Amino acid sequence: MTSDFTPNEMMTIAASRALSNKDVCFVGIGAPSAACNVARLTHAPEITLIYESGTIGTAPDVLPLSIGDGELCETALTTVAVPEMFRYWLQGGRISIGFLSAAQLDRFGNINTTVIGDYRKPKVRLPGGGGAPEIATSCGQIFITMKQATRGFVEKLDFYTSFGHGDGGDHRQRLGLKTKGPTLLITDLAVWKPDPESKEFTAVSMHRGVTRDMVQETCGWKVRFSDRLEETPSPTELELSTLRDLQRRTELANGGKKGQ
């Protein structure tokens, strides 16, 4: 293990560890893309990465700047039309993991990427849902990655874009959803998992140097900590060098524009 790493690097590597060779993963741009490709280049070389543009089994040498980046199509096993991607692959139940992020997140893993403030007169209008609402309900399970801050971790969403566990408990089942929904939240401070009964996200491990106060101060609701709260294992030299090499290649390829 190494002693020199950033909170962002810890978040990305912790997310990568949750992936395995058997996973078929719907990848988002940014931190999810970095995490998935670190997994592919280290412990999960047989993972199948799918991007929203229709690229299947892609193995990019650099991180894509968008889902339309040529690097994805050039290195994919095949590329299909977007309607086929959603109807056959996603809604057909063929994708095990979906990676999402959020502008706002609540304790039950519900996501807002639409507006900040009142919908009709928003303070900020965000990019919207894209394919995230379908990903949130159709992938086998959802992993969420985002930095902790009170403006993002909120008691109540300004808008429900993507459904997590709703009001908690068996809300998904009552709506007829057969997938697990959000099962993992990885931030720059901690790793969270939903309580088996209430489905409220609970901090199960904190990254090195992080305190309970730091986790609470960056969260808009009363944090639940696991009775078996652990310290997240620090990145290994292999994990860190793989991530940094990937980022370095990306920066060089894009003239200084980072793909994360």
Which pLDDT tens digit goes with each residue over 171-201?
999 999 999 999 999 999 999 999 999 999 9
Alpha carbons 58 and 77: distance in angstroms, whole number: 6
- Between the CA atoms of 110, 228, 97 and 134, what dihedral angle is there, to the nearest 10 degrees? -10
Question: Using an 8 Å Cβ cutoff, are 47 and 25 in contact?
Answer: yes
Which residues are identified as catalytic?
Answer: 52
Query: pLDDT band at 260, cuts 50/70/90?
Result: very low
What single letter denotes the amino acid at residue 168?
G
Question: Using an 8 Å Cβ cutoff, are 165 and 194 in contact?
Answer: yes
Does residue 139 surpass a pLDDT of 70?
Answer: yes
Return the H-helix or E-strand segment holding 97.
strand 97-100
Q: How much helix, strand and coil, in percent to the nearest 5, is found in the chain?
A: 25, 20, 50
Question: Using an 8 Å Cβ cutoff, are 143 and 183 in contact?
Answer: yes
* Per-residue pLDDT, 256: 59
pLDDT digits (tens, 9 = 90+) for 28-58: 888 889 999 999 999 999 999 999 889 999 9
Any alpha helices (H) in 114-163, and if so which ranges? 132-138
Alpha carbons 251 and 230: distance in angstroms, whole number: 34
Please state which CATH number belongs to domain 7-181+235-253. Answer: 3.40.1080.10
- Distance between terminal CA atoms of the chain? 24
Return the H-helix or E-strand segment holding 217.
helix 212-217
Query: Whole-prediction pTM value?
Result: 0.92
Alpha carbons 188 and 152: distance in angstroms, whole number: 13
Does residue 65 surpass a pLDDT of 60?
Answer: yes
Axis-axis angle for helices 7-17, 31-41 (nearest 10)? 60
